[in-house]
Amino acid sequence: MNRTTGRALTFVTSVIMIVALLAGCGSGSGSGNNSPTTKNNTGDTNSKTNVKTEATNAPVEKTTLTLMVGNTGTTLDALKAVGTEAEKKLNITIEYDIKPDGTEGDNLVKTRLATGDMSDLLVYNTGSLLKAVNPVENFLDVTNETFMADVLDSFKTVVTVDGKVYGAPVGSSSAGAILYNKKVYGELGLTVPQTWSEFMANNEKIKAAGKTAVIASYKDTWTSQLFVLGDYYNLQAQVPNFADDYTNNKAKYATTPQALRSFEKTEEPFKAGYMNKDFLATTYDVALKMLADGSGVHYPMLTSALDSILQNSPDKINDIGVFPIPGDSADVNGLTVWMPSGLYINKNSKKVEAAKKFMEYFVSKEGQAIFASKVKAAGPNVIKGIELPDDAYEGVKEMQKYFDEGKTSPALEFVSPVKGPNLENLTVAVGSGIISAQKGAEDYDKDILKQAQQLNLPGW
């Protein structure tokens, strides 16, 4: 071997060693990750795989969450629509755990919470009924979650216990009022009543025309409460301190004439013969059909019922209007308002982080737009930046003036934690003539005692 050949071999060998060293530096240190890397603005190095995961906000593995919700109205369909998009964007699948409404559903929720068998997420009441299921112990505190920033304080107050916020809104506000058939009103030459006596006079004319003046659907007992609950605007307008005195055991329904009046309004349509004869067998859905087709003209109900009318009788929805449950004076005329239900996270869920991701998406503008595409607003929204649309229900448009004029009041259950669980059975009894209004009010005053004591309220 001569010197020239030796030098050439040495050069080639050196090149091969350098290439090998460079290849070794390019492979991961035992990680098996050969993805290229990028640097963010702070100089931190992240893999492209991780950047994609952060951008989509989706976990690498699909997560299944269970969500308990009632079976009345269109809320379930709207939630399913949001859930479908959440699966695409968050890689989260929602399984729906359907519960009955009313007392039966409340009892199921309490049982499932007590046994530790609650779903990851729950759609449930706000106000006093929320406090009755001990949210501090059972639900996740979302006070400081950034996605709650656009939720109005007026809603937060009804999901707040001991200074902590526990829920996000599911839908719009609504009112406890009289849903009425505007077409029949026009045919009979009736005008919206400003007083209870005018309301009863309209009922007499409707009865004379061969129609049901006041629809009752006592087969679904929860529907019997509206003349009492929806009358609260009139009560608080006349007795401004009633809620505080009631909470502190200083005022009673049976001994406060303006409060007793609510039970009397439940009794009077029955005694006058204005109700449908089969009211004990009539369901909520049948009642809404009667209202839509004009065979029944007045239905005391939450305005969330407009959603069901749209779903079942879409060609009749513009025939349905809304007016407040009248007081005894035209000077007192306004709406009793219900805040929407809340979406809560089971504090003991093993999938809390995924549940928070779903809640964040649900209250976002995108999530709310999807929800609204399946269920129209039954009242003003409680999330900033979401206004009443031009194609809102005619009934909701009628409601808007009361909001604009400040003639609204939250229902008693939102300003007092005291609400007896047996009210719906008592209002069925009063509205059926089984017991008097006075007896119903007295029994309800007794009914609230146990709950007030369970809540450790002062004065009880």
Q: Is 345 helix (H, G, I), strand (E, B) or coil?
A: strand
Residue 334: its pLDDT value, please?
Answer: 95
Residue with the bigger pLDDT between 6 and 60: it is: 60
Residue 57: its pLDDT value, please?
Answer: 58
- Of 85, 74, 62, which Cα lies nearest the Cα of 367? 85
Which of 44-58, 114-128, 160-174, 277-291 has the least mean pLDDT? 44-58
Q: Please report which confidence band the pLDDT of residue 154 belongs to, taking 50, 70 and 90 as the band edges.
A: confident
**Each residue's pLDDT tens digit, 390-418:** 788 999 999 988 887 878 888 998 889 88
- Of 217, 205, 300, 296, which Cα lies nearest the Cα of 262? 300
Residue 59: its pLDDT value, please?
Answer: 53
Take residue 361 and report the two structure tokens written for it. Answer: 């998406």
Report the alpha-carbon distance of residue 68 to residue 372 in Å, rounded: 20
Residue 240: its pLDDT value, please?
Answer: 96
The mean pLDDT of 106-124, rounded to a whole number, is: 96
Q: For all residues of the chain together, what is the average pLDDT?
A: 87
Q: Please report which confidence band the pLDDT of residue 455 belongs to, taking 50, 70 and 90 as the band edges.
A: confident
Report the alpha-carbon distance of residue 167 to residue 181 in Å, rounded: 35
The mean pLDDT of 45-72, rounded to a whole number, is: 63
Alpha helix segments (H runs only) across 57-193: 75-90, 102-115, 128-131, 135-138, 153-156, 182-188
- Beta strand 45-47 pairing with 37-39: antiparallel
Q: Inform me whether the pLDDT recorded for 55 exceeds 80.
A: no
Residue 73: its pLDDT value, please?
Answer: 67
Residue 292: its pLDDT value, please?
Answer: 98
The mean pLDDT of 111-120, rounded to a whole number, is: 97
**Each residue's pLDDT tens digit, 230-247:** 999 999 999 999 999 999
Which of 109-113, 216-220, 375-379 has the least mean pLDDT? 375-379
Q: Please report which confidence band the pLDDT of residue 60 belongs to, taking 50, 70 and 90 as the band edges.
A: low
Residues in the chain: 460
Report the alpha-carbon distance of residue 424 to residue 225 in Å, rounded: 6
| Run of H or E including 164 | strand 164-165
- Beta strand 296-302 pairing with 174-181: antiparallel
The tally of CA atoms less than 13 A away on the side-chain side of residue 110 is 13
**Each residue's pLDDT tens digit, 322-362:** 999 999 999 999 999 888 999 999 999 999 999 999 999 99
Which of 360-369, 383-392, 415-424 has the least mean pLDDT? 383-392
Report the alpha-carbon distance of residue 19 to residue 59 in Å, rounded: 39
DSSP 348: T
Q: Inform me whether the pLDDT recorded for 38 exceeds 70.
A: no
Residue 247 and residue 456 in contact, taking contact as beta carbons nearer than 8 Å: no
Which of 58-72, 277-291, 434-448 has the least mean pLDDT? 58-72
Q: Which residues pair with 296 in a beta bridge?
A: 212
Report the alpha-carbon distance of residue 248 to residue 423 in Å, rounded: 19
Residue 86 and residue 361 in contact, taking contact as beta carbons nearer than 8 Å: yes
The mean pLDDT of 212-220, rounded to a whole number, is: 98
Amino acid at 1: M
Residue 25: its pLDDT value, please?
Answer: 42
pTM of the model: 0.67
Take residue 133 and report the two structure tokens written for it. Answer: 């299921």
Q: Is 301 helix (H, G, I), strand (E, B) or coil?
A: strand
Q: Is 408 helix (H, G, I), strand (E, B) or coil?
A: strand
Q: Please report which confidence band the pLDDT of residue 257 belongs to, taking 50, 70 and 90 as the band edges.
A: very high
Percent of the chain with pLDDT strictly greater than 70: 87
Residue 444: its pLDDT value, please?
Answer: 97
- Of 43, 114, 140, 111, which Cα lies nearest the Cα of 357? 140
Q: Please report which confidence band the pLDDT of residue 127 belongs to, taking 50, 70 and 90 as the band edges.
A: confident
Amino acid at 410: P
What share of residues in the chain are helix, strand, coil (percent, to 5)?
50, 15, 35
Q: Inform me whether the pLDDT recorded for 4 exceeds 50.
A: no
φ/ψ (deg, to 5) at 212: -75, 120
**Domains of the chain listed by start with CATH number:** 60-173+340-372 (3.40.190.10), 174-338+400-454 (3.40.190.10)
Q: Inform me whether the pLDDT recorded for 24 exceeds 70.
A: no
Amino acid at 88: K
| Run of H or E including 311 | helix 305-312
Which of 8-17, 65-74, 283-292, 301-310 has the least mean pLDDT? 8-17
Residue 375: its pLDDT value, please?
Answer: 81
Report the alpha-carbon distance of residue 342 to residue 75 in Å, rounded: 12
- Beta strand 320-323 pairing with 160-161: unpaired
**Each residue's pLDDT tens digit, 183-196:** 999 999 999 999 99
Amino acid at 356: K
Report the alpha-carbon distance of residue 237 to residue 274 in Å, rounded: 28
Report the alpha-carbon distance of residue 449 to residue 304 in Å, rounded: 30
The tally of CA atoms less than 13 A away on the side-chain side of residue 233 is 29
Residue 336: its pLDDT value, please?
Answer: 94
The mean pLDDT of 312-329, rounded to a whole number, is: 97
